[in-house]
Amino acid sequence: MLESIIKHILVTEEEAQDICRRLGKEISRDYADKNLVLVCVLKGSVMFAVDLAKQIDAVCEMEFVRTYSYGNGTESTGKVQMLIDFDRPDIAECDFLVIEDIVDSGNTLKFLVEHILAKGAKSVRTCTLLDKPSRRKVDFNPDYVGKEIPDEFVFGYGLDLFEKYRDLPYVAVVSPEYLATLGL
Ligand code: PRP
């Protein structure tokens, strides 16, 4: 069943771990003397955030947020809502790094950066496993990028296909045959 849904593997398990090691080194260096707080954006970034955190040597804390903007479709509505937010008394001393699985329209990360800055954060930067620059609808670029990818429907390693397959250790491209069955 899964074989018929996959066109090809876009990011193998090994490449995902290589990306985490590479970005982990950069982040460890950049945040060595800062108060790093990783912000995991549920649900999609959970696998990447956990694997990346393991590769960061700098002392860090973790927060979790959840946003909503897609409704039932595959196009962002452009309106991002906070479903789960965080709060802490020391926000003004914290250097936040928001961790995403994918940047598409850019709406979610742009909103989150502004949202966390509005709380009074000392600094906010962003890190994504995957970036689809060709899909951008707002002026936004992540600070750390694992891999730029073309405009294809991807799933696995946190990214879902109708809420399933987030548990796969790799990122795959959905086959055109399967997309056709969905009318996409
Ligand atoms: C996905 C992804 C990002 C967002 C990126 O989340 O995890 O948060 O969309 O798209 P954008 O750049 O167009 O805003 P989704 O809303 O599908 O929720 P999920 O993480 O729970 O799957």
Domains by residue range for the chain, with CATH: 2-181 (3.40.50.2020)
DSSP state at residue 156? B
Round to whole Å and give the CA distance between 39 and 50.
Answer: 11
Round to whole Å and give the CA distance between 5 and 171.
Answer: 12
Q: What's the mean per-residue pLDDT of the chain?
A: 95
Catalytic member of 104, 131, 151, 167:
104
- Nearest atom in ligand 1 to the alpha carbon of residue 166 is 22
Question: In the block, which residue shows the tokens 């390693």?
Answer: 157
Per-residue pLDDT reduced to its tens digit, 21-32: 999 999 999 999
Per-residue pLDDT reduced to its tens digit, 61-102: 999 999 998 766 666 678 899 999 999 999 999 999 999 999
pLDDT at 135: 95
Hey, what amino acid is at 96? Answer: F
> Which has more pLDDT, 156 or 78?
156
State the pTM of this model.
0.95
Whose CA is closest to 178, among 153, 148, 144, 157? 153
How far is ligand 1, taken at its centre, from the CA of residue 163, in Å?
Answer: 12
Residues touching ligand 1 (Cβ under 6 Å) are 41, 43-44, 69-70, 76, 100-108, 160
Pairing between β-strand 6-11 and β-strand 171-174 as defined by DSSP bridges: antiparallel
Q: What is the side-by-side strand order in the sheet with 95-103? A: 81-84, 60-68, 36-42, 95-103, 123-131, 144-148
How far is ligand 1, taken at its centre, from the CA of residue 44, in Å?
Answer: 7
How far is ligand 1, taken at its centre, from the CA of residue 90, in Å?
Answer: 28
**Cα distances (angstroms) measured from residue 42 to each of 20, 50, 55:** 18, 12, 20
